[in-house]
Amino acid sequence: MRLGDVLRFAGGALRGHRLRTCFSLLGVAIGVASVILLTSLGEGAREYITGEFTSLGSNLLIVVPGKTETAGFAPLVSTAPHDLTEADAEALGRRIAAIRRVAPLVVGTAAARAGERSREVTVVGTTRPLLEIRKLKLASGRFLPADMPEAAVCVLGARVQRELFPGENPLGQVVRIGDWRFRVIGVIAPRGTSIGMDLDEVVEIPVATGLRLFNRTSLFRILAEVGSHEDLASARAAVLEVLRERHGGQDDVTVLTQDSVLAAFDRILMALTAALAGIAAISLGVAGLGIMNLMLVSVTERTREIGLMKAIGATPAQVVGVFLIEAAMVSTAGGVAGLLAGVGAGQLLQQIYVELPFRPPGWAGPAALGVSCAVGLLFGILPARNAARLDPVVALARRKA
């Protein structure tokens, strides 16, 4: 039996009950479209976050107090570390040639008030090099001074400025943060969400002031920018070496690279995409049951035809083949429809929600076709075997149906 003939024969049978065929096809189409949409979302999110990380600069070392055994995300188990201090940060910049810039960080939240208005802000105590390291742009004024780590001055994020000083020039005005009074010296240009914190919601103050404001002795983090990516590994070793020496021979810090953080995020987001695809795949399974039902009904309706096929010399394998191809045709057509609908809906959503990252992964197309075809074949097996097992004598004895 020739493939072209099988396809034509199966197609003719399907046209015999168009409505039923269309519903089963629709089931597969919905399943495939939802897989495409959800994986597009997951993949888009992954690419977005990867892009954000890359824009931070791939030459960054992040020093975190405490030691973790696994090269994880952030240290979970700490071994009573020495404080990570401004002096440590300063020593890194001074003693390691490969390190171009260093910014210590201390982070906390506090209520900020200006006149009648107040809001909760994230306060970052840091130094001037943060401006270059995080590639921040000033909307007005200047950033933290390089030489006055204890000054009571602050730089506002764009939204903080908008909410505390709507329609006013905040430069030179006073903001109360906690119990302290800070003079505003600059405003950061709006930038939107970035990894870790929303920079528009942040207020930057000098690092020593920050430590005192939050009553801390240890830094939250030290960011160190290395001159070139090739020096990253050696600089990382040098950082560990310098801090071991400064902390009395104890290895009590963790140094993360952007690469390791990025890899961790990448793993999490791939798992997320896979989970979304898995949820959507359930609907494909349901669609498969729809196809199985379609084919079971078809086999029952065409009992006489199957008996006849056998009487005129169709082998059981040919009968199985005809019904499997029929099931696969429905599901593959559904797969094509679902692929088009999924990609189309994705593009439509992209038009409406410009910020939402939608990107169907490259494998989506071939996978949709392959999987939908496989669904038809898999769920077609039972009906096709039922057909092949029909006793031709009994089948032909039927007057109708």
Cα–Cα nearest to 195, from 142, 264, 140, 274:
264
**Residues 286-305: x where in contact with another protein by CB under 8 A, - otherwise, as a string:** ------------------xx
Q: How far is the CB of 323 from another protein (least distance, A)?
A: 14
Q: Can you spell out the DSSP letters for 94-108?
A: HH-TTEEEEEEEEEE
- CA 262 to chain CA centroid, Å, is 11
Q: How far is the CB of 350 from another protein (least distance, A)?
A: 44
Q: Is 361 in the site for another protein (CB under 8 A)?
A: no
Closer to another protein at the Cβ: 137 or 399? 399
Q: Is 84 in the site for another protein (CB under 8 A)?
A: no
Angle at 334 between CA 333 and CA 339, to 5 degrees: 100
- CA 41 to chain CA centroid, Å, is 8
Instruction: Quickly tell me which residue has 């009906």 as its tokens.
Output: 383
Closer to another protein at the Cβ: 17 or 212? 17
Angle at 133 between CA 129 and CA 137, to 5 degrees: 85
Residue range at the interface with another protein (CB under 8 A); choices 13-21, 49-57, 71-79, 328-336 = 13-21
Q: Is 16 in the site for another protein (CB under 8 A)?
A: yes
- For the chain, what is the radius of gyration of the CA atoms? 32
Q: How far is the CB of 286 from another protein (least distance, A)?
A: 29
Residues that contact another protein, how many (by CB under 8 A): 27
Q: Is 308 in the site for another protein (CB under 8 A)?
A: yes
Q: Is 310 in the site for another protein (CB under 8 A)?
A: yes
Cα–Cα nearest to 18, from 330, 271, 235, 238:
330
Amino acid at residue number 67: K
Q: Is 137 in the site for another protein (CB under 8 A)?
A: no
Q: Contact at 8 Å (CB) between 20 and 309?
A: no
Q: Contact at 8 Å (CB) between 311 and 396?
A: yes
- CA 46 to chain CA centroid, Å, is 3
Taking CB under 8 A as the criterion, the residue among 1, 77, 197, 286 binding another protein is 1
Q: Is 309 in the site for another protein (CB under 8 A)?
A: yes
Residue range at the interface with another protein (CB under 8 A); choices 8-16, 76-84, 158-166, 202-210 = 8-16
Tell me how far apart the alpha carbons of residues 108 and 397 are, in angstroms, rounded to a whole number.
85
Taking CB under 8 A as the criterion, the residue among 314, 340, 381, 382 binding another protein is 314
Q: Is 393 in the site for another protein (CB under 8 A)?
A: yes
Three-state DSSP class for 112? strand
Taking CB under 8 A as the criterion, the residue among 19, 80, 146, 312 binding another protein is 312
Please report, as ranges, the residues that interact with another protein according to CB under 8 A. Answer: 1-2, 4-5, 9, 12-13, 15-16, 304-305, 307-316, 318, 392-393, 396-397, 399
